[in-house]
Chain A
Amino acid sequence: MSVVGLSLVLMLLLFLILGSGVWIAIALAVCGFAAVLTKVATPAGQVLATSMWTASNSWDLTALPMFIWMGEILYRTKLSDDMFEGLAPWLQKLPGRLLHVNVIGCAIFAAVSGSSAATCATIGRIALPELLKRGYDERMAIGTLAGSGTLGLLIPPSIIMIVYATATDQSIARLFIAGVIPGIVLAGLFMGFIVVWALFNKARMPPPEPPVPLRERVYASRRLIPVTLLILGVIGSIYGGLASATEAAVVGVFLALGLSWWSGTLTKQGFVDSLMGATRTSCMIAFILAGAAYLTAAMGFTGIPSALAEWMSGFNMPPWALLTVLTAFYIVLGCFLDGISMVVLTTSIIIPLVTKAGFDLIWFGIYIVLVVEMAQITPPVGFNLYVLQGMTGRNIFTIGAYALPLFFLMCVAVFLVAAFPGLALWLPSTMLDAR
């Protein structure tokens, strides 16, 4: 069979199996199996065992369960109340007022959590009822929350980045640090949008609240101290080269436990729940990675990725055209697939193409994270939409429409990162050598 025919058959097989409700990890592995079968001489079962073993026993991947556990612990603390109370008094003067709590709160929580859905849920739990109670526009409150939650992926730590870095053999620490500036830029875009919207829609804003004296504002800010220390401890130690990503994640677990104990929210039940939740989530992701590793190894035997790279380079597309095509492809894919599957499919198939086109793999990691962020808020499959559906009872297509302006802002962010690669690559270049 020709390479093109084979890739079409495999793709069809993958969608068929995925569509019939077989678990993603298994579907990926079955595709790998089918691909290996086309090469008669290759022992399919041995390749399966070796690639799953290699993908599963990894020091770098150990960061994954630790960061997930940290997030699970923090989800059960009063951190989100603290953040609302500490931030709200400062935002009364800015056009858009408390709507900015969504963006800034998510950006801050993103710096201690690696998940978009968890960020959205943690901040939304407090911010959404408060905003609606005060009469803010529902459309804006829900839409900005859906969009800002995705910052959880871009601002380190980030589960998607760990998945990408381990699958492409890049440094997790560098990828984390590369996400900081694009994350701040994206949060800035979101806030700019809120300001502009508020200036044009004064009628739809609730009446302003009485101003809070400076002294009280400063006093309220004390509630932001624990989260600030947590961020400094985790991201600071990675940036300063004091700790690898895994070590920083373990520091994060202990700091989160300490914070939880100090604020009086640490219970035995909560501890066990957080541990079990983390065990299951990390198992789910590790299993997908194991299945994807088998697919990647199998793809290597078929020669599809390199043939694809050859084929694409035959068009002599300039980089921007290639990126436009890829982005369009990801946006469509993102409507139907979750982020992790998107990343592992990418790494097993199109990385040779990306390297051949001359993209830096750290930079490409940031690009992938941005397009995966879009996937979080595009219906019918988008995890932030699910979270908000659970909270508000709205249909996911409605919530997707609320979040549409933020989707376009993410497209702008992709453009900015493509036009100015330094946004992603400058900060890691200043890092002290991370182990």
Chain B
Amino acid sequence: MRRALDTLYRAALWASALCLVAIALLVGLQLAGRLLDGALALLHLPRTDFVILSLNEICGYLLAAASFLALAGTLKAGAHIRVTMVLAALSERARYLVELWAFGFAAACAAYMTGHLANFAWVSFFFHEVSAGVIRVPLVYPQAAMAVGSLILTAALVDEFFIVLSRGRPTFRAAEDAITLGKEG
């Protein structure tokens, strides 16, 4: 169970990272095409007119998928920010109770979010909704990715809830207490 869950979080995080790499490669390819055309125009040669159709929309969808798929991995790394000022001031016993509340409440919220994102994706699927650009991407793909990411986050929060319950502290306490660089603006 432990291994399976950790693998799930890691796989989702990797999928998210690959979405970002895909964005970089697609945009890079388009830029290279534009540079090549510029060079060709200077030499009075015919342009290649290389265009990746609907690039902007596709990158937006990849980003939405990336942002939600990484949610659980980010939580497990202690990189989602929260106000720890009060927590740090509490006694270990009180902190334990507040942590339980935070994880339980967050898990309930994440479950609610998952339900509505899933419903949203289902509606897009049912009505065959597609993007407005030249290439008609079915909207259900990125939206389903968001719902899946949200579901994995819910699992991670429930998972952490039980870890706090049995061990008294979340797995990422050390990471959260340490300074995480570039965490914020």
* A53-B120, A250-B28 known; A66 vs B23 contact (CB < 8 Å): yes
Contact at B20–A23, with CB atoms within 8 Å? Answer: no
Selected from A18, A68, A290, A386, the residue in CB contact (under 8 A) with B83 is: A18
Cβ–Cβ contact A56 & B68, under 8 A:
yes
- Count of A-B contacts judged by CB separation below 8 Å: 215
A62-B60, A280-B77, A389-B179 are known contacts. Are A338 and B116 too (CB-CB below 8 A)? no
Residues of B within 8 A of A48 (CB): 112-113, 116
B contact residues, range: 35 or more
Within 8 A of A (CB), among B90-128: 98-99, 101-102, 105-106, 109-110, 112-113, 115-117, 119-120
Given A287-B80, A338-B81, CB of A52 within 8 Å of CB of B146: yes
A336 at the interface (CB under 8 A from B): yes
Interface residues of A in 268-286 (CB under 8 A from B): 275-284, 286
Task: Give complex CA distance A93, B21 in Å.
Answer: 46
Closest to B67 in A: A286
* A50 part of interface (Cβ distance < 8 Å): yes
Whether the pair A59, B67 counts as a contact (CB closer than 8 A) is no
Contact B63 A56, beta carbon cutoff 8 Å:
yes
Which of A115-123, A170-178, A212-220, A411-419 forms part of the interface with chain B?
A115-123
Docked complex Cα distance between A245 and B151 (Å)? 32
Contact A65 B23 (CB under 8 A): yes
Interface string of B43-65 (1 = CB under 8 A from A): 00000000000001101111110
Are B63 and A58 within 8 A (Cβ)? yes
A376 CA / B185 CA spacing, docked (Å): 9
- CB-CB under 8 A from A160, the residues of chain B are 185
Q: Within the assembled complex, what's the spacing in Å between the Cα atoms of A20 and B86?
A: 7
Most A-side CB within 10 Å, residue of B57, B59, B84 = B59
- 20 pairs, CB–CB < 8 Å, chain A vs chain B: A21-B98, A24-B82, A26-B105, A26-B106, A52-B146, A56-B63, A57-B142, A59-B57, A62-B63, A117-B181, A117-B183, A117-B184, A247-B31, A251-B31, A280-B77, A283-B16, A283-B71, A287-B67, A340-B184, A387-B179
Known pairs A23-B106, A53-B146, A117-B183; list 9 more (Cβ under 8 Å). A20-B101, A21-B101, A22-B105, A24-B83, A25-B80, A71-B182, A72-B182, A115-B185, A286-B63
Q: Taking beta carbons and an 8 Å cutoff, which residues of B are in contact with A?
A: 13, 16-17, 20-21, 23-24, 27-28, 30-31, 56-57, 59-64, 66-68, 70-71, 73-75, 77, 79-87, 98-99, 101-102, 105-106, 109-110, 112-113, 115-117, 119-120, 142-143, 146, 178-179, 181-185
> Measuring CB to CB, which residues of chain A are less than 8 angstroms from any residue of chain B?
17-27, 29-30, 45-46, 48-50, 52-53, 56-59, 61-62, 65-66, 68-69, 71-72, 75, 114-118, 121, 153, 158-160, 163, 243, 246-247, 250-251, 253-254, 275-284, 286-288, 290, 336-340, 372, 376, 380-381, 383, 386-387, 389-390
